[in-house]
Amino acid sequence: MSDLLSNLALGADVAFTWSALLYCFLGVVLGMIVGVLPGIGPLPAIAMLLPVTFYIDPTEAIIMLAGIYYGGQYGASTASILLNLPGTPPAAVTCLDGYPMAKQGRAGVALFITAIASLVGSMFGIILVGTLAPVLAHFALEFGAAEYFSLILFALIGTAAIGGDSFPRSISMVALGLLLGIVGQDITSGQFRFTFGIPGIADGLSLVAVAMGIFGVSEVMASAHKERDTHSENFTFRSMLPTREDVRRSWPAMGRGSIFGAICGVLPGAGASMAVFIAYAFEKRISKTPEIFGKGAIEGVTAPEAANNATAQTAFIPTLTLGVPGDAVMAVMLGALMIHGINPGPSLITEQPTMFWGLVVSFLIGNFILVILNIPLVGIWVRLLKIPYSVLFPVILALICIGVYSINYAIFDIFLVIAFGLVGYGMKMLHFPPAPLLLGFILSPMLEENFRRAMLLSRGDWMTFLNQPISAVFVIASALLLLLPVYGWWSVRRKRGKTATMSS
């Protein structure tokens, strides 16, 4: 404990300097803004600001870039709740219950409780970064190709619980997402798969285009013909405050979501997308009223948001201590460190203690700045609901197009987002859930890569997935998840048979 306190004191000496505080403030504010703007996200902002970091201190540079990252996690939930537009892919889960809460006139409550859940998840992640980084990094090293494949398989099957009451429809959406994820060039053979000679998808389908299409454009199309009362919510500070029942249901969900987020953040390659889907699926699975999920369940907002922000903090553990980035943003962070001559790895904490502990303390400062900024701004965000559709929708579509275009600067991506908007609209009409499709699409390349690697290492032995204890646990859990809907169907049919027999 004394060592931890002395390390935090060392970090405070760095993080509480005027220049570090300034760059922390700039980072979190910019991150919040780009998170709120649908379709942009923190990655383009970090990439554009990377050249600026050449001229400032390396520690202050990484503090600013990190602020953009976790600030973006806070801001992304705003567009998800108010407009059903996920600013980042993990925020897509927040749409499922956050947007229905907004339509019920509870946008202020959703945004307020989201800020609290984000803070709880962040604090949990920061504690782990500061106290358990070496232990958790060692645990992550235990995961090989077989373990990663089994974990992803478990996440995909568990996601089927998200998609409403129809398990077969959810599983079919996962399968479709997996197929979309393998479009493009095979990284092993170099062969083009399912590209049909279209150069724009030779490197795969754009994640932003898929997410914005099936969530954003489809929502615009589905709502364009509807009329809305632009004064549906009379916003006051009291209207922001959650009820006692909201608080009672939220705290356990925040805790569980923080744990899932911390675990997925530590595992290189798992990331926030997996964490939020698992957290949501788990809450729905254990809930006594699963039918309210997707209709404005408070747990459906707090658990994913806590998981999202816990992941944003603990994702720095494999990046800094192993040199293994968990996602594209962490890869840019890794590049920023290497540009400054800092080599991430097990010796970073001992070789660069002022940078590491200064970064940890800056996490604390930045997250409190975000809460202080977000809660007063809730009123401004809620008033977005009062903008008429005729004004709001063209702006949303313009922001979507700008955000999608800014990723690869390709006009083709705009046509791609329109195409997936039509697909998403068709899915809405046929009551097919979009969230499992998105998770399948995100995890498809990782699933394929780890499956191939596991089979190569085992020389084609399928038992490798059961011979490894950690992998075996996830495989058995996946099998149980598949059997649960079958058991439910059999139970219902059996009850109907008994009822028919008794009536006859």
Q: Indicate whether 136 pLDDT > 60.
A: no
Half-sphere exposure of 314 (CA within 13 A, CB side): 37
Beta strands in 152-254 (DSSP E): 184-185, 192-193
- Cα separations in angstroms, 350 against 62, 270, 355: 18, 26, 10
pLDDT of residue 25: 93
The span from the CA of 115 to the CA of 128, in Å, is: 20
pLDDT band for position 185 (cuts 50, 70, 90): confident
> Under DSSP, is residue 316 helix (H, G, I), strand (E, B) or coil?
helix
The contacts of residue 43 (CB under 8 Å, 6+ apart) are 328, 329, 332
8 Å CB contact between 431 and 254: no
Entry field: residues in the chain: 504
The span from the CA of 176 to the CA of 184, in Å, is: 15
pLDDT of residue 157: 80
pLDDT of residue 266: 76
Question: What does the pLDDT look like over 349-360, one tens digit per residue?
Answer: 777 778 888 888
Question: What does the pLDDT look like over 256-270, one tens digit per residue?
Answer: 989 888 888 877 556
- Cα separations in angstroms, 458 against 143, 325, 464: 15, 26, 6
Two structure tokens written together for 2: 């004394």
The contacts of residue 236 (CB under 8 Å, 6+ apart) are none
Two structure tokens written together for 333: 């962070």
Q: Indicate whether 23 pLDDT > 80.
A: yes
The span from the CA of 348 to the CA of 351, in Å, is: 5
Q: What percent of the chain has pLDDT over 90?
A: 2
Question: What does the pLDDT look like over 393-447, one tens digit per residue?
Answer: 787 788 778 777 876 778 888 888 889 889 988 888 888 877 778 778 877 887 8
Phi/psi for 75 (5° steps) reads -65, -30
pLDDT of residue 152: 79
Average pLDDT score, the chain: 78
pTM over 0.75: no
pLDDT of residue 22: 92
Q: Which residue has the higher pLDDT, 147 or 388?
A: 147
Q: Indicate whether 134 pLDDT > 70.
A: no
Q: Which domain holds residue 69?
A: 2-229+236-503
pLDDT band for position 229 (cuts 50, 70, 90): very low
pLDDT of residue 98: 85
Two structure tokens written together for 349: 């904490």
- Cα separations in angstroms, 392 against 24, 217, 384: 32, 13, 8
The span from the CA of 260 to the CA of 274, in Å, is: 9
Q: Which of 131-145, 171-185, 286-300 has the lowest mean pLDDT?
A: 131-145
Q: Indicate whether 337 pLDDT > 70.
A: yes
pLDDT of residue 346: 64
pLDDT band for position 231 (cuts 50, 70, 90): very low
pLDDT of residue 224: 67
pLDDT of residue 230: 45
Q: What's the structural domain count of the chain?
A: 1
